[in-house]
Amino acid sequence: MSKDFNMLFAGFGGQGVLFAGKISAYAGLYDNKNITWLPSYGPEMRGGTANCSVCISDNPIGSPCVVSPDVFIALNLPSFEKFKNSVVSGGTMILDSTMISEKCDRTDIHIFYIPASQLATENGLDGLANIILLGKMFKETNFCTQQSLETALENCISKRKQHLLLPNKKALQIGMDF
Amino acid sequence: MNNKVLMKGNEALAEAAIQAGCRYFFGYPITPQTELAAYMAKKMPKVNGVYLQAESEIAAANMVLGAAGTGVRAMTSSSSPGISLKSEAISYMAGCDIPALIVNVQRGGPGLGGIQPSQADYWQATKATGHGDFQILVFAPATVQEMIDLVGLAFDKGDEYRIPAMILADGMLGQMMEPVTIPEHTTQHLVEKSWACCGHQNKRKHNVLNSLFLTPSELEKLIIERYKRYDIIKEKEQRWEEYRLDDADIVLVAYGASARVSHTAVDIAREKGYKVGLLRPVTLWPYPTKAFTTLKETARAFISVEMSMGQMVDDVRLAVECKKPVHFVGRTGGKIPTPMEVVDKIVEVGGMD
Is B263 in Cβ contact with A64 (below 8 Å)? no
B-chain CB neighbours of A60 within 8 Å are 263
DSSP lists the bridge partners of residue B283 as: B139
> Is the pLDDT reported for residue B182 higher than 90?
no
* C-beta separation of B48 from B72 below 8 A: no
Say which CATH class B242-350 falls into.
Answer: alpha beta
For CA atoms B288, B293, B299, B300, the dihedral sign is: positive
Identify the H or E element spanning B339.
helix B339-350
A-chain CB neighbours of B176 within 8 Å are 36-39, 64
DSSP lists the bridge partners of residue B250 as: B276, B301
Segments making up each domain of chain B, as ranges:
5-200+223-236, 242-350
Q: Is B352 exposed, middle or buried (0-12, 13-18, 19+ CB in 10 A)?
A: exposed
How many Å apart are CA B179 and CA A60, to the nearest integer?
A: 11
- B313-331 pLDDT, tens per residue? 999 999 999 999 999 999 9
> Is the pLDDT reported for residue B85 higher than 60?
yes
The CATH number linked to A58 is 3.40.920.10
Burial pattern A150-170, b for ≥16 Cβ within 10 A else e, equals bbbbebbbeeeeeeeeebbbb
How many Å apart are CA B276 and CA A150, to the nearest integer?
A: 42
CATH 3.50.50.60 fits B5-200+223-236, yes or no: no
Nearest to A32 among B2, B264, B267 (CB): B2
Name the 3-class secondary structure at A111: strand
Identify the domain containing residue A71 by its residue range.
5-177
The pLDDT of residue A3? 76
The pLDDT of residue B185? 67
- B29-60 pLDDT, tens per residue? 999 999 999 999 999 999 999 999 999 999 99
Name the 3-class secondary structure at A37: strand
The CB-side HSE value for A63 (13 A sphere, CA atoms) comes to 21
| Close Cβ partners of B260 (under 8 Å, ≥ 6 residues apart) | A61, A62, A63, A64, B142, B143, B172
> Shortest Cα distance from B256 to chain A (angstroms)?
11
How many Å apart are CA B154 and CA A117, to the nearest integer?
A: 49
> Is the pLDDT reported for residue B161 higher than 50?
yes
What confidence category does residue B353 fall into, taking pLDDT thresholds of 50, 70 and 90?
Answer: very low
The pLDDT of residue A40? 87
The pLDDT of residue A1? 40
Average pLDDT, integer, range B226-252: 98
Average pLDDT, integer, range B118-130: 97
Nearest to B261 among A26, A42, A62 (CB): A62
The pLDDT of residue A48? 73
DSSP lists the bridge partners of residue B270 as: none
* DSSP secondary structure string for all residues of B47-60: GT-EEEE-SSHHHH
Q: Nearest Cα to A15, choosing from A129, A143, A108?
A: A129
* C-beta separation of B282 from B259 below 8 A: no
How many Å apart are CA B149 and CA B127, to the nearest integer?
A: 24
Name the 3-class secondary structure at B2: coil
* C-beta separation of B164 from B22 below 8 A: no
* C-beta separation of A143 from A71 below 8 A: yes
DSSP lists the bridge partners of residue B169 as: B105
How many Å apart are CA B63 and CA B43, to the nearest integer?
A: 19
* C-beta separation of B119 from B306 below 8 A: yes
Interface test with A, best of B2, B3, B5, B6 (most A CBs within 10 A): B6
Nearest residue on chain A to B340, alpha-carbon basis = A67
How many Å apart are CA B160 and CA B152, to the nearest integer?
A: 12
B-chain CB neighbours of A42 within 8 Å are 31-32, 115-116
What is the ipTM, given to two decimal places? 0.93
Nearest to B261 among A25, A63, A151 (CB): A63
Q: Nearest Cα to A71, choosing from A26, A7, A20, A19?
A: A7
For B322, other C-beta atoms within 10 Å of its C-beta total: 10
Interface contact A45, partner B, CB < 8 A: no
| Strand pairing class (A49-57; A5-12) | antiparallel
| Close Cβ partners of B77 (under 8 Å, ≥ 6 residues apart) | B13, B25, B27, B33, B36, B37, B102, B103, B104, B105
pLDDT tens track, chain A, 178 positions:
457 999 999 999 889 999 999 999 999 999 999 999 999 886 666 667 889 999 999 999 999 999 999 999 999 999 999 999 999 999 999 999 999 999 999 999 999 999 999 999 999 999 999 999 999 999 999 999 999 999 999 999 998 999 999 999 999 999 999 9
What confidence category does residue B184 fall into, taking pLDDT thresholds of 50, 70 and 90?
Answer: confident
Burial pattern A24-53, b for ≥16 Cβ within 10 A else e, equals bbbbbbbbebbbbbbbbbbeeeeeebbbbb
Dihedrals φ, ψ of B139, to 5°?
-110, 135
Q: Is B55 exposed, middle or buried (0-12, 13-18, 19+ CB in 10 A)?
A: exposed
Q: Nearest Cα to A109, choosing from A79, A80, A134, A144?
A: A80
Is B31 in Cβ contact with A25 (below 8 Å)? no
Average pLDDT, integer, range B142-167: 97
How many Å apart are CA B268 and CA B338, to the nearest integer?
A: 12
Look up residue B130 and give its DSSP letter.
Answer: S
| Total structural domains within chain A | 1
- B131-152 pLDDT, tens per residue? 999 999 999 999 999 999 999 9
Domains B5-200+223-236 and B242-350 alike in fold: yes
> Shortest Cα distance from A9 to chain B (angstroms)?
15
Torsion of CA A121, A123, A125, A131, to 10 degrees: -100
The pLDDT of residue B159? 96
Mean of per-residue pLDDT scores for chain B: 95
Q: Nearest Cα to B31, choosing from B75, B76, B82?
A: B82
How many Å apart are CA A144 and CA A90, to the nearest integer?
A: 19
